[in-house]
Structure 1
Amino acid sequence: MPEAETRTLTSTPALLASLDPLLREWLPRQRWFAGKGRPVTGFSLVAATELLPAAGPPDGRSDRPGLLHVLVRAHQPAVPAPGAPELPGDCYQLLIGVREALPPRLAPALIGHVRQGPLTGRTVYDALYDTRPAEVVLEALRSRARVGGLRFERDPGQEIRTGLAPRLMTGEQSNSSVVYGDTFILKVLRRIVPGVNPDLELPLALARAGCPRVPAPTGWMVADLAGETWVLGVLQPYVQGAADGWELALRELAKGEDFTGEARELGRATAEVHTALARALPTVTLGRSHLEQLVAGMAERLEQAVHAVPALLPYAPGLRSAYTALGALAAEGRTWTAQRVHGDLHLGQCLRSPTGRWSLIDFEGEPARPLAERRLPQPAARDVAGMLRSFDYAEHAADAPPPGWAAACRAAFCTGYARAGGVDPRTDPVLLRACETDKAVYEVVYEARHRPDWLSVPMSAVRRLAAPEPV
């Protein structure tokens, strides 16, 4: 990246003022915006860096886009009510393209037309839709560029070729991804927090451990701000022709085909990743005090969920019994091993290559949970519970699923896990029920806030898990 094309914007109140009215309209409409349902009351600029010249007088050369890398904090009230206290605000990563006029092919990327400030008269848009800005990011990774507070790193053992055509993938919810020539995929994190992000940390650890079930990071983007490192994106090899587990499961359901073989292989892949993580990173023994904290966290999340979704109230005693049963075992002296886990495992986080081999991706964890919590060692049953819940989701998404489809897949997954990991999750039913209950409660809150039409799926699990003898 030529030095003349890079400049850090160190004093940018005018820039933020010019973007503010546009971002208030555009940002809440993005699928990855986490604060839906609450108005944006303002923004504060965390950092802004010019990667391609964006200012200067208009010259009619609309084919030469500018590119701004912006970290902005959106301020919102705690609840959607007048006079409610404001939250500190989530920080979002934006790659903003700047053009004199937007060509029709980029119409879906439009943010708006700037009417004040240093970009007056120009059009700004989501630059990930545009070829030239996306190429600039890949070139920065290839050349290990440093631009202001931005740092682009790569694995010296992996080559990044030039001339790889970019294309933005659609359909993601919490982040954005760009594929380069069917060779690499760049995951651009949207909601940014300082600290070690497990989406980079764990794949790097698994690569060092020689685990082939997770694509090894080729490069990564970070920002060094105020003495802290913020992970911005991760570049990994792209598995050409791969299908994610969710798409594959729905496809097989639509055809009435059996999926237990794939579920068994998914269990094997999950166990291999867990084994490699336990080998690469420290594990801990969960005794009574640790379990009391774990159970208290589950119970607190249940209370918050009941407050947010009153439909949970009739089932709260039954759900709480799953946690108290786990606490009772701990009080009797039972211990468990905890380790680093995926943290948000479901069918959509798994890829099957054309050869039939399964890989696990997206180790960010549940984005709604604090980073420190996502990096804590957890019982491996947490990931198992996430996948078991995902089979239920797939069955409910099908028009006419075969009877017992999810139950058969759940059993097959556990069988595959036991064959590769040596331990069948079903032999510890109290722990598994507690983890699955905690996951279902999380899903109820998520669906109520973001996808009300899907609320019946976790509520069905809630009814099952709250029964005196859950099945």
Structure 2
Amino acid sequence: MLEQLLAAWLPQQRWFGGKGRPIDSVSVDADVELGPGLRHLIVAVWQDGSRDRYQLFLGVRDELPDRLSHALIGIYRDKYHYDAAHDADRTSWLLTGMAHGTTAEGLRLRHTPGAAIDTSPRSLVLGAEQSNTSLVYGDAYICKLFRRLIPGVNPELEIVSALAARNAPHIAQPYGWIETDLDGTPTTLAIMQEFLSTANDGWALALASVRDYYGIPDPAPAPWETAPADPNPVTAANAGGDFSAEAHRLGAATARIHVELARAFPTATVQPPEIKRMAEEFRRRLGRAMAEAPQLREHAEEIETVFQRLDEVSVDVPIQRVHGDYHLGQVMRTTTEWIILDFEGEPGQPLGERKALSSPLRDVAGMLRSFDYAARHLLAGHPEAGRLEPRAADWSARNRAAFLDGYAEGGGQIGGAQEPLLRAFELGKAVYEVVYEARNRPAWISIPLAAFGARPA
């Protein structure tokens, strides 16, 4: 049976969310024939009494070319069944369907109003993703297939469409989407946007800057050997590793996006009593985190002091739609500007939480933490980490300050009553990171632990 093949194949896929747990059953909830040798499946997977649903473009061939052998699911009824997302001969249907607004048995392919889609490019699967699958069509489009399905409109489609309608800057233009009804709710299956073929990833650019900064030769026989004190020490201001101009531009772009989001969607305010409840939640999370990561205990007093400052907030705090999972890996630098991507919110959180209004300082704090990670990422396990730590601190401090300056110049609000909230968001994020590293990468735990000090936000 096809379900048996899927039960064996699904746990091997990087986007499958139930790894490490036995599968109780697999069933095909929906099966739509899209054309010769191409079907769209919605597959229900039961594990530990709970159900997750995944989508699959299923290819069927009498013979399977070698180029598709890695996508094989299995042989069923004397035919090869495989993941057709990897088959450029089949995925052209998606491009054509969006261009023409095709509907097939409840599967709806749509294009952004006014968008003209070139249907000639062939697709190629990007290989780095963990939870979705993205198809790049030539150098024009990137189509993200959401593998695990959650009923509802995806926040990224909702946000990018609204911003594009306002001609907002700093986004990748949307071209189309695919949707169906799941549990009676319109549900996003895929989004197609502009492919930034010549842009550079923000995380990669930051790491290149850090490498340049650390790689400046010392007056010693070898670059990493201890050297006498330099009477003219190199700092990030005069090193090839300076990234502060880009950090400033990114801060301004972030503020502009926040301004546009506040204009495109409803906003609200949070009153001081709710801020105090937020502080209590931060404290509860810290208590749970210390039980799992004892390294936090020596910093508990400092962290508690930051959280207690939220009790002093006496004014209403604005909240709005935000990015929700903001870091250097979510931004791209084109030849002219920073582009912000992936407005899906924090992975794994319920859709309602990912769409909930929040302080834009949550995004700011996420980017500040990302600068710290970029600065210290290369020091994890490095034999000269102690000697290089001051350089890491300097690189991070300069770029954090430049980002915040740019954010303020771009219209973002970070002063006054906002400052304690920003610091609380940042340390709350660092507490989460300590627990994550303790569970998954103990050698990296020093990176988030470095967040706890007397520095200002």
Partner of 2:278: 294
**Alpha carbons of structure 1 residues 433 and 45: separation in structure 2 relative to 1, 3 Å:** farther
Corresponding residue for residue 106 of structure 1: 68
Q: For the structure 1 residues 152 and 463, does the alpha-carbon distance in structure 2 shift closer, same or farther, using more than 3 Å as the test?
A: same
Counterpart in the other structure of 1:57: none
Deviation at 1:432, TM superposition (A): 1.3
Matched, 1:148 2:105: yes
Q: Is the 8 A contact 2:290 2:297 kept in 1?
A: no
Deviation at 1:381, TM superposition (A): 0.7
Deviation at residue 414 of structure 1 after TM alignment: 0.6
Tell whether the 8 Å contact from 1:319 to 1:437 is kept in structure 2 after alignment. Answer: no
Instruction: Report what 1:59 is aligned to.
Output: none
Shift of 1:352: 0.7
1:364-383 pair list within 5 angstroms: 364-383=344-363
**Does 261-270 or 212-221 show the bigger shift?**
212-221
Q: Kindly tell me: are residues 168 and 321 of structure 1, through their superposed partners in 2, closer, same or farther at Cα, counting changes over 3 Å?
A: same
Q: The residue matched to 2:431 in structure 1 has which SS?
A: helix
TM-aligned CA deviation for residue 175 of structure 1? 1.6
One-letter code aligned to 1:71: I
> Is the aligned partner of 1:75 residue 2:46?
yes
2:331 aligns with 350
3-state SS in 2 of match to 1:348: helix
Residue in 2 aligned with 1:239? Answer: 196
* Inter-partner Cα distance in structure 1 for 2:87 and 2:348: 29
Contact 1:318 1:468 (C-alpha < 8 Å) held by counterparts: no
Of 162, 185, 194, which aligns to 2:119?
A: 162
Asked if 1:430 is matched to 2:386, the reply is no
What residue ranges of structure 1 are gaps of 5+ in the alignment?
1-13, 54-65, 78-85
Tell whether 2:274 aligns with 1:274: no
1:42–1:221 distance in 2 versus 1, CA, 3 Å: same
Equivalent of 2:319 in 338, 342, 349: 338
What is the Cα deviation at residue 470 of structure 1?
7.6
Q: 1:20 to 1:249 in 2, by over 3 A?
A: same
Alpha-carbon RMSD across the aligned residues, in angstroms, is: 2.7
Could you tell me whether the CA contact under 8 Å between 1:306 and 1:316 is conserved in 2? no
| 2:326 match: secondary structure | coil
**SS of equivalent residue, structure 2 residue 152:** coil
User: Which sits farther off after the overlay, 184-193 or 119-128?
Assistant: 119-128
The structure-2 alpha-carbon separation of the partners of 1:120 and 1:290, relative to structure 1 and needing over 3 Å to count, comes to: farther
How many equivalent pairs are there?
420
Of 435-444 and 203-212, deviating more is 435-444
Q: Would the alpha carbon gap of residues 463 and 263 (structure 1) be closer, same or farther in structure 2, given more than 3 Å must change? A: closer
How far off its partner does 1:422 sit? 4.8
TM-score normalised by the chain length of structure 1: 0.81
The alpha-carbon distance between structure 1 residues 325 and 352, as it changes in their structure 2 partners (threshold 3 A), is same
The equivalent residue for 1:415 is: 405
Equivalent AA in structure 2 for residue 23 of structure 1: L
1:20 partnered with 2:7: yes
State the one-letter code of the partner of 1:341. Answer: V
Please say if residues 132 and 144 of structure 2, whose CA atoms lie closer than 8 Å, have aligned partners that are also in contact: yes
Report what 2:223 is aligned to: none
Take 1:232 and 1:48, find their aligned partners in 2: how far apart are those partners?
14
Letter in 2 for 1:385: A
CA distance in 2, matches of 1:96, 1:316: 52
Which residue of the partner structure matches residue 187 of structure 2?
A: 230
Alignment equivalent of 1:200, drawn from 157, 160, 163: 157
Cα distance, 1:187 vs. partner? Answer: 1.2
Q: TM-score, normalised by structure 2?
A: 0.83
**Residues 264-306 of structure 1, C-alpha deviation per residue, up to 9 Å, x if partnerless?**
1110110000011111111111003432453454445445555
**Range with greater deviation from structure 2 (293-302 or 96-105):** 293-302
CA contact under 8 A between 1:93 and 1:189: conserved in structure 2?
yes
Indicate conservation of the 8 Å contact 1:51/1:67, yes or no. yes
In the TM superposition, residue 241 of structure 1 has moved relative to its aligned partner by 0.5
Give the counterpart letter for 1:335 in structure 2.
D
Q: Residue 160 of structure 1: SS of its match in structure 2?
A: coil
Q: Does the CA contact (< 8 Å) of 1:113 and 1:121 recur in 2?
A: no
1:425·1:432 contact (CA, 8 Å) conserved in 2?
no
